[in-house]
Structure 1
């Protein structure tokens, strides 16, 4: 029986999060919270049994009143069928088994309950990833894992379907933040608790000449008007726990109205 490959060093992740600056480093969480709250108002439904999965309970506690808060551990401390809303809050990119995380959230939902997740997508920090990879390759002749792999939006809807959620939707909200230098970006990542916690990371400090070369490449390649950009690609996913009251897809070939009639257009038959 194959075991799930280990992506994240949980001890390192917890250490990084404990060092995070909750006063200055949570601006991405604040942006995600604002977006989540906007989306919940559009649902036009009251939620009385919400739960939030997060590594930052103090930050996310304000999203929904009286929500049950649980850590984003491998096994989520959620009761089956106990919630009408489960929010997975900016932690899915660190999960060894993201589909398993979503399945656990779906099982915690009652019928017609809402799952809403926000995670970082594949374009996140693409500038930093490219320059670090080039610098390390030039100087050491190899590459080491530095930034957690993140899924592309085209894959996210499929994750929701694999987890058994109905009416899946995934969309992206890209944010571009600018900094005075790559060093300021790296300092901010530490304040966010988002520095390297990969299981296969280097277990020694990165060579100084690699970091200096990466910083120079970053400036040469991406600097604009005296500042360097950093992309944070936030992907929002929603899906519903299946229920008979939800719209159901029709069986292929069961349509009773022609498309041409619905559009008020003339039908032109193709030549045989």
Structure 2
């Protein structure tokens, strides 16, 4: 699936181990997942559709079965961690998001909540999702992206550069909403939509942020394990930089979280299509019931 143009960035085995360890602590930090679940339900409800067979990718830490139930028939929960998948209420499967096992055109709905930002080959996964959907099947996904954890990234980069003369990637790279719109189109989705929801979390200090990232299984899991470990000296300097540059007047620090949203449909002949430019038969002014105002001489 991965090519030289799509090198491995994340160690998926390490990620699954961390997600498994986070199972016991995730409930204390599941506020993001709960918010995303509510928004997913909103985005599905506006379709006014019932989906017979639905799949949730990345369900292990907090599944969406209750949220999806009013809009679906059978819901299959999936997680890439064997340990987490074994704890899910059946029907459930252990599924690697990079290698989907579903038959082509077999699913009516695919949902993914805060999982796809850990995929090495996101374009390839989106293509697999689209191929797994029946004609006019629906996909809705949410993942961390954009400027997420930009303050932490900057503080660690600056501290390590100051103290060691160089720095390594300590915070995962994230895709932007604009990138996602293009990827959805390339994957063959029709009516693709991508947008961003920016949140600002506040913590007492950088170490409280670290605890939440660990409790949710979201600490960086790089494929290249030869990197140098962070020293206590670098961490303490990063904590000072974070406090100096990203603290509010009350002393608490800010952490930016961007949730990037994706929705798209598998192609179907009956779906709405964009009109050919110049094919309109009614003036906009007439449709709005207003008087047309000239903007000047026509060009040429």
Residue deviations 1:6-26 (CA, integer Å, cap 9, x gap) = 111111111111121222132
For residues 154-174 of structure 1, what are the alpha-carbon distances to aligned partners after superposition, in whole Å with 9 as ceiling and x for unaligned? Answer: 211111101100111111111
Q: Please list every run of 5 or more consecutive structure 1 residues that lacks an aligned counterpart in the other structure.
A: none
Query: What's the Cα RMSD here?
Result: 2.0
Match among 137, 150, 156 for residue 132 of structure 1: 156
1:29 — aligned with what?
A: 33
Aligned residues of 2:202 and 2:254 also touching (Cα < 8 A): yes
2:39 aligned with 1:12: no
- Whole-angstrom CA distance in 2 between matches of 1:2 and 1:97: 9
**By how many angstroms is 1:196 displaced?**
1.2
TM-score, length basis structure 2: 0.84
User: Contact conserved, 1:84 with 1:113, CA < 8 A, in 2?
Assistant: yes
TM-score (norm 1): 0.92
Q: 1:147 aligns with which of 168, 171, 174?
A: 171
Shift, 1:51, TM fit? 0.7
Q: Give per-residue Cα distances to partners, 1:68-93, cap 9 Å, x unaligned.
A: 12235220132221111101221111
Query: Between Structure 1 and Structure 2, how many residues are aligned?
Result: 272
Instruction: Give SS of 1:67's match.
Output: strand
How far residue 256 of structure 1 moved from its aligned partner, in angstroms, is 3.6
1:195 deviates by: 0.5
The structure showing larger relative contact order (alpha-carbon pairs under 8 Å, at least 6 residues apart) is 1
Q: Deviations over 1:64-122 (max 9, x none)?
A: 23311223522013222111110122111111111111111111111111110101111
Q: How does 1:112-261 map to 2 (within 5 A)?
A: 112-200=136-224, 202-224=226-248, 225-259=250-284
Q: Which moved more, 1:259-268 or 1:96-105?
A: 259-268
Structure 2 unpaired stretches of 5+: 81-95
User: In structure 2, do the counterparts of structure 1 residues 97 and 176 end up closer, same or farther at CA, with 3 Å as the change threshold?
Assistant: same
The CA distance in 2 between the partners of 1:89 and 1:265, in whole Å, is: 47
Specify the alignment match of 2:132 in structure 1: 108
